[in-house]
């Protein structure tokens, strides 16, 4: 029998099963995170003069979302590689994410930031990676790396669990920082882009 993509139909049960899979894996992974590591990340962000963020691929996209939330809080924040991103220097913090902790561009950015006198916070699955070894603060997310296709840690494809958990961690940091202010949501919204 020759099955084509056009001949396949999906049921709501198919989708519900996958939603359940994703939610279960994220919940299990989140419960294994050392929240003292996340609170240290929040402290580092709170104390930095400026916050820079970088990661490759989907990890980088998740950090772009975090950058927006930090901007909403009134932080001076930049995404590395954007055309208007200034030089990093002492007093600044670079937040990096790499599941493997070995992504060459991310490790190079970390080394550059440290050489400039900035501090470094890393979010990774690999506590013994070169990236983790450089960092002042490390958040370890126990998730399968994107090239681990036979792991029993996750049934999801290629690093999805790490990226989902990365988003969760950065949202928790945002809400922790916001909770320490007396700013209502309406005040944060005034900082939202108005040239959309």
Burial of 77 (0-12, 13-18, 19+ CB in 10 A): buried
Burial of 68 (0-12, 13-18, 19+ CB in 10 A): middle
Active site residue 163: yes
Q: From CA 86, how far away is CA 146, in angstroms rounded?
A: 31
> Angle at the Cα of 174 (from 171 to 178), degrees rounded to 5?
140
> How many C-beta atoms lie closer than 10 Å to residue 9's C-beta?
6
* Integer CA distances (angstroms), 165 to 22, 31, 45, 49, in order: 11, 11, 19, 26
Q: Which of 6, 163, 183, 186 is catalytic?
A: 163
Q: From CA 172, how far away is CA 190, in angstroms rounded?
A: 21
Strands (E), 105-163: 119-124, 137-140
CB 87 within 8 A of CB 80: no
Q: Which residues are catalytic?
A: 163
């Amino acid at each position: 029998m020759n099955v084509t993509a056009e001949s396949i139909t999906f049921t709501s049960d198919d989708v519900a099963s996958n939603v359940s899979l994703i939610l279960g894996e994220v919940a299990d992974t989140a419960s294994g995170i050392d929240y003292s590591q996340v609170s240290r990340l929040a402290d580092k962000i709170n104390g930095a003069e400026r916050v820079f963020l970088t990661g490759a691929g989907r990890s980088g996209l998740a950090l772009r979302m975090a950058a927006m939330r930090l901007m909403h809080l009134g932080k001076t924040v930049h995404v590395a590689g954007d055309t208007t991103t200034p030089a990093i220097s002492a007093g600044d913090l670079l937040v990096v994410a790499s599941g493997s902790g070995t992504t060459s561009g991310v490790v190079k950015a970390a080394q550059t930031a440290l050489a400039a006198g900035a501090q470094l916070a890393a979010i990774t699955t690999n506590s013994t990676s070169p990236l983790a070894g450089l960092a002042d603060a490390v958040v370890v997310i126990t998730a399968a790396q994107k090239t681990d296709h036979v792991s029993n840690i996750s049934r999801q494809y290629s690093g999805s669990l790490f990226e989902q958990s990365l988003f969760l961690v950065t949202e928790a940091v945002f809400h922790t920082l916001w909770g320490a202010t007396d700013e209502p949501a309406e005040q944060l919204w005034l900082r939202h882009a108005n040239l959309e």
